[in-house]
Amino acid sequence: MNLSLLKKLLHGGIVPLVALVLWQLLSAGGLINPQILPSPLAVLHKWIAYLAPAEAYTPQLGSYARWLVSGELLHDTYSSISRVLGGFLIGAALALPLGLLMGANQTVYKLFNPLLQVLRPIPPIAYIPLSILWFGLGNPPALFLISIGSFFPILMNTIAGVRQVDGIYIRAARNLGASQMTMFRRVILPAATPYILTGARIAMGTAFIVVIVAEMIAVNDGLGFRILEAREYMWSDKIIAGMLTIGMCGLAIDMAMSALNNHLLSWHRGLEH
């Protein structure tokens, strides 16, 4: 391993390491009730148990690979992430066309803007009672809440993105004889992409917050459900193990968004203007 990477790891790892050691010492010394704050080793232990399949492997359970991923943690993670993606896609599918239209057309903007400005400050969480009334329990209210959380960031950024398109690109495209449709598809849309992707990234973050809340209230699986369930049994180690998993999923999603961003915007990096 090269030396500078080692140095970097050491540099970034030292504070978490000290925190972990202190935490372990406090818990092991019996200073803190393990039901309030379990030791990091206990959390790790629980996390592994949570990850592992519930029963030992027997051929009746089907293929080995399926058994291997049958643990509760993977199931919950899968449920939460598929809800995030589903809700996000619904929100984006509504926000993107509306945002493009509102950004490009002043009449459409004036028609929709007043209503949207009233709805926008309402936190997605405030829709919970209504969503249960409308959709009952289960996935539909969760998807509804997540799509609302994703909708506004993408909408606002798309409108801004279309409006900030530099007039010089429009003039150049008109000069080349571009039709309205070509202008929109090949000039306005790509020029607005950096803004739209920023909106998508914010939306993803909101979706991730909303999914946890929605699972605590409306459904009975997923990471949000699981940590609330663990509280009823006073399993603080499982609560913390679940929270750490939520953190890791959030980080993974954000890294994926960032990679997508860099891929789509390779033309944009370091652009003057």
Partner 1 sequence: MTGIHIEAVNKVFTGAGGDVVALKDINLTIGSGEFVCLLGPSGCGKSTLLNAIAGFSHPTSGRILAGTTPVSKPGPERGMVFQEYALFPWMSIEQNIAFGLEIAGRPAAAIRERVDVLLNMLGLHDFRARFPKDLSGGMRQRVAIARVLALDSPIMLMDEPFGALDALTRRNLQDELLKIWKQFGTTIVFVTHSIEESIYLADRTIVMTYRPGTIKRDVRIALPRPRDPSAPEFNRLKRELGELVMEEQQRHHQAEMAATTAD
Which residues bind to partner 1, rule: CB under 8 A? Answer: 168-169, 171-179, 182, 186-187, 190-191, 193, 266-273
**Are residues 203 and 91 in contact, defined by beta-carbon separation less than 8 angstroms?**
yes
Q: How far is the CB of 241 from partner 1 (least distance, A)?
A: 44
Closer residue to partner 1, CB minimum distance, 11 or 269: 269
- Separation of alpha carbons 101 and 108, rounded Å: 7
Closer of 9 and 166 to partner 1 (Cβ): 166
Distance CA 242, CA 38 (A): 13
**Euclidean distance between CA atoms 179 and 186, whole angstroms:** 10
For partner 1, the closer of residues 147 and 261 by Cβ is 261
DSSP state of 266: T
Q: How far is the CB of 181 from partner 1 (least distance, A)?
A: 11
Nearer to partner 1, 174 or 231 (CB): 174
Complex with partner 1: residue 188 or 249, whichever CB lies closer = 188
Residue 8 or 186 having the CB closest to partner 1: 186
At 13, which helix (H) or strand (E)?
Answer: helix 3-28
Q: Given the complex with partner 1, which of 119 and 176 has the nearer CB atom?
A: 176
Q: Cβ of residue 110: shortest distance to partner 1, in angstroms?
A: 24
In a 10 Å sphere around its CB, with 0-12 CB exposed, 13-18 middle and 19+ buried, how is residue 206 labelled?
Answer: buried
Cβ pair 154, 98 in contact under 8 A: no
Tell me the chain's radius of gyration from C-alpha atoms: 24
Give least dist CB 192 to partner 1, A: 10
Give least dist CB 40 to partner 1, A. 47
Q: Tell me the C-alpha distance between 92 and 12, whole Å.
A: 36
Rounded least distance, CB 246 to partner 1, Å:
36
* Min CB(223)–partner 1 separation in Å: 38
**Distance, CA of 49 to CA of 31 (rounded, Å):** 26
Between CA 99 and CA 160 the distance in angstroms is 9
The angle formed by the CA atoms of residues 117, 119 and 125, to the nearest 5 degrees, is: 140
